[in-house]
Amino acid sequence: MTTWVALLRGVNVNGITIRSTELAELFREALGFHAVKTVLASGNVRFDTDAPASARAMLKATIEKALRERFDYDAWIVLATLDELSAAIDGYPFDAGDAARQPYVIFCSIEEVHDELADAAASADRDEDPTALGAGVIYWSPAKGRSVDTPFAKLLAKSRYKATTTTRNLRTLQKIHG
């Protein structure tokens, strides 16, 4: 049994409302997953299944299809195993307690997208857009109130990244991890 985390992108914003109980029901009953737990109202689902990490693409496609059919929206998710989530949490390189900054982790579902964002992060202004690389993730620590207007933020907002990335606050990831 593998514990997975599905990080849904774009739910409970822009008119797409999905209640946690309905989301958990979909994962439990329609998809047949075990130990289903939703965390916060921002599209985070932790679940167990027999699907190994090698079945990630198939599992992702199955979940996205079920979300589209059930909730009638263009669903995109990033899947991580609980071990990958743990590594992302443990690898956070900035001061997560800095009250002036947001402790963000950007998950990428496609390696080429990670590499493209990593290149941009490497050339980002360290004061304005502090970034660092992790396994399958990019760490970002923008100043509070600047997470939509820095150069790196504007890059992340481009529509070409919509289906392959999602950003979570480190505290949210810690809650998902349990």
178 residues of the chain, pLDDT tens digit each: 999 999 998 766 666 778 899 999 999 999 999 999 999 877 899 999 998 889 999 999 999 999 999 998 888 899 999 999 999 999 999 999 999 999 999 999 889 999 999 998 888 888 888 999 998 899 999 999 988 999 999 999 999 998 889 999 999 999 999 8
| The CATH number of domain 91-177 is 3.60.120.10 | no
Domain 2-82 class in CATH: alpha beta
In this prediction the pTM is 0.92
Query: What b/e string do you get for 85-108 counting C-beta neighbours within 10 Å, with b at 16 or more?
Result: beebbeebebebeeeebbbbbbbb
- For CATH 3.30.70.1280, the residue range(s) in the chain are 2-82
| CA-CA-CA-CA torsion sign (112, 113, 118, 120) | positive
- The whole-angstrom separation of Cα 133 and Cα 58 is 26
User: Cα-Cα-Cα-Cα dihedral of 100, 170, 154, 127, to 10°?
Assistant: 40
- For CATH 3.30.70.1260, the residue range(s) in the chain are 91-177
Three-state DSSP state, 30 = helix
